[in-house]
């Protein structure tokens, strides 16, 4: 783990909204895709969990859980279930962490929970963590003997992969972790 303090000059925001149907999720996804310049997608279905390059053509409702991210922010959505008068219902919960200017409009309403991460008390720290797996010359995927599948990180040829995170924290507040970038891992 390599921590580095950042002095961010742009306002950051955490915003969340739940009980969304597929159309509302798609609308927020498209707003974020247009504004946030996502690069990567970490996703999960009932049968698979993987990384890919981000595509605005993706259907966000195809995933049980996913995180689209890039340097301006991260959009995390997860399928959820709740009880209502008509019985059990399903939909999605969406969380945005990133630049306020890149936040989807659908999360800037009075119905969304919002926390400003740029108040004087908030600090931001960039941390790079080493991801599992190693790719040797001639291999197309990363291999980790302790994980019974190939790891497909969407990066060009590199032996090891690091995940950059931004940690937003303030005294007496929960920390917010934002996926930020995938980079070649450098020792030291």
- Specify whether domain 10-116 bears CATH 3.30.310: yes
How far is Cα 25 from Cα 2, in angstroms, rounded to an integer?
A: 34
For residue 1, name the pLDDT band (cuts at 50, 70, 90): very low
Q: Tell whether the torsion through CA atoms of 173, 40, 1 and 123 is positive or negative.
A: negative
How far is Cα 138 from Cα 51, in angstroms, rounded to an integer?
A: 20
Q: How do residues 141-164 score in pLDDT, each as one tens digit?
A: 888 888 888 888 998 868 889 999
Share of the chain above pLDDT 90, in %: 63
Q: Is the pLDDT reported for residue 6 higher than 70?
A: no
Where in the chain do CATH 3.30.310 domains reside? 10-116
How far is Cα 12 from Cα 14, in angstroms, rounded to an integer?
A: 7
Residue 68 contacts residue 43 (beta carbons within 8 Å): no
pTM, two decimal places: 0.89
């Amino acid at each position: 783990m390599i921590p580095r303090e950042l002095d961010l000059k742009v306002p950051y925001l955490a915003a969340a909204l739940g009980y969304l149907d597929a159309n509302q999720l798609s609308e927020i996804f498209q707003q974020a895709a247009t504004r946030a310049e996502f690069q990567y997608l970490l996703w999960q279905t009932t049968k698979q969990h993987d990384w890919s390059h981000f595509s605005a053509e993706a259907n966000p409702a195809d995933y049980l859980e996913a995180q689209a991210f890039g340097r301006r922010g991260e959009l995390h959505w997860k399928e959820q279930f709740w009880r209502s008068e008509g019985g059990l219902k399903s939909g999605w919960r969406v969380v945005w962490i990133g630049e306020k200017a890149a936040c989807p409009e659908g999360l800037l309403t009075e119905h969304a929970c919002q926390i400003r991460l740029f108040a004087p008390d908030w600090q931001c720290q960039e941390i790079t963590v080493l991801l599992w797996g190693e790719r040797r010359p001639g291999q197309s995927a990363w291999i980790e003997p302790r994980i019974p599948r190939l790891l497909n990180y969407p990066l060009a040829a590199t032996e090891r992969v690091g995940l950059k995170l931004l940690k937003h924290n303030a005294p007496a507040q929960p920390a917010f972790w934002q996926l930020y970038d995938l980079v070649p891992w450098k020792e030291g």
